[in-house]
Amino acid sequence: MELLNFKPIGFIKTPFKSKEGMPIQSTGAQGVKGTIEIEAEYIEGLKDLDGFSHIILIYHFHLSKTYELSIKPFMDDNLRGIFSTRAPKRPNPVGFTVVKLIEIKDNLVHIENIDVIDGTPLIDIKPFIPDIDSPDVQKLGWLQGKSDKMGVKKSDNRFIE
């Protein structure tokens, strides 16, 4: 099968130097500041992005070297299918998070509420557009009644690989 090849457009600098103790999602990273250092060749593509208050980051879980199809997520004690979780040990270790955009200067994109480990390779940036990105959700599966606690739950070492 065809392989897909991507190249990081930049790297995300954050205060989180190790996986242990970091927030598991952006709601647990309220106020945490980070900076995206965009590679020089892509700076032109940042034009107009500063008009948006929130941006989508698609990034590489670069510390995940293997994957598991069933895992115990941080918010649960049962084994769950990996695609029903946001855990990093995925067949394609791609992460998704929405952060607040503070300011763009040259190749530096200053952001807030960032929940990734320092040095994370960035694959793409997109504007967050509520009309298309905020559906009217009815069911939350195994996370029902738990997702509001994602803000206080911290990571441990279970996904270190």
* Residue 31, Ramachandran bin (φ over 0: left; ψ between -120 and 50: alpha; else beta): left
- Give the nearer residue to its own copies in terms of CB position, either 48 or 77: 48
The first and second tokens of residue 116, run together, are 């990734």
Minimal distance in Å, beta carbon 132 to its own copies?
Answer: 4
Cβ of residue 146: shortest distance to its own copies, in angstroms?
Answer: 9
- Give the C-alpha separation, 95 to 111, whole Å: 17
Q: Is 117 helix (H, G, I), strand (E, B) or coil?
A: coil
CA Rg, the chain, in Å?
Answer: 16
Nearer to its own copies, 118 or 151 (CB): 151
Q: DSSP assignment, residue 130? A: H
Q: How far is the CB of 70 from its own copies (least distance, A)?
A: 6
Nearer to its own copies, 17 or 149 (CB): 149
